[in-house]
């Protein structure tokens, strides 16, 4: 009976090989329709969600890699990679994301060689007012929601299922542990984790002596 699982696995592999070739062209069409500027080497596995408003602007550098949806980077709690942009989103070169969402109401900047783990969310807004009376009026609620830019600098690694909140800057080479909630800025070369995230230890950066 081993032949039946073997056939099933072979068919699954063929199906995945065919689908993988379609995902990147589909994503490129979605980017083009939303006015997204992107560089060479763009690669996608899975379907993504892209919503850029008339006010929004997105620029993406070279080598963006996206794992999106249920069948890619299977670590649990999968979702499609989501880009909801009403402000200015800038993603530089060689960034990787898995099943993550960027909600850019005003300004989000992501540097070079950044790795964003599965199911991470990045928000530059509170979405709602902190005043209960304003929250009772949908228009005033949104208008009075606090916001602040988010910046993730070069060579940052964000662990899976983390939340990056408004006003946060994550310095170069720093690491955010899995399932962290980052509420304040992280200096360069540090490891932070927890809810809220706190300093765990310093990162030892190996310098190239050549």
Cite the active site residues.
Answer: 128
Residues 10 and 45: beta-carbon distance below 8 Å? no
**Exposure string (b/e) for 6-32, b if CB count within 10 Å is 16 or more?**
eeeeeeeeeeeeeeeeebeeebeebbe
* CA neighbor of 21 nearest in space, from 46, 55, 40: 46
In DSSP notation, 69-97 reads STTSS-SSS----EEEESSEEEE-SS-EE
From the CA atom positions of the chain, what is the Rg in Å? Answer: 19
Q: Is the CA virtual torsion 47, 104, 95, 183 positive or negative?
A: negative
């Amino acid at each position: 009976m081993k032949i039946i699982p073997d056939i099933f696995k072979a068919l699954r592999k063929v199906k995945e090989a065919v689908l993988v070739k379609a995902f990147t062209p589909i994503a490129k069409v979605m980017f083009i329709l939303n006015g997204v500027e992107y560089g060479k080497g763009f690669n996608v596995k899975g379907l993504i969600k892209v919503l850029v408003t008339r006010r929004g602007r997105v620029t993406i550098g070279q080598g963006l890699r996206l794992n999106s949806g249920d069948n890619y980077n299977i670590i649990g709690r999968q979702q499609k990679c989501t880009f909801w942009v009403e402000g200015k989103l800038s993603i530089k070169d060689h960034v990787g994301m898995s099943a993550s969402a960027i909600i850019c109401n005003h300004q989000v900047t992501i540097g070079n060689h950044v790795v964003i783990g599965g199911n991470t969310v990045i928000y530059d807004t509170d979405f709602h007012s902190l005043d209960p009376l304003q929250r009772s009026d949908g228009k005033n609620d949104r208008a009075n929601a606090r916001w602040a830019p988010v910046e993730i600098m070069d060579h940052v690694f964000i662990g899976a299922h983390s939340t990056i909140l408004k006003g946060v800057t994550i310095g170069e080479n720093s690491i955010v542990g899995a399932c962290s909630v980052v509420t304040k800025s992280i200096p360069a070369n540090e490891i932070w984790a927890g809810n809220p995230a706190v300093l765990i230890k310093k990162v030892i950066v190996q310098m190239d002596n050549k």
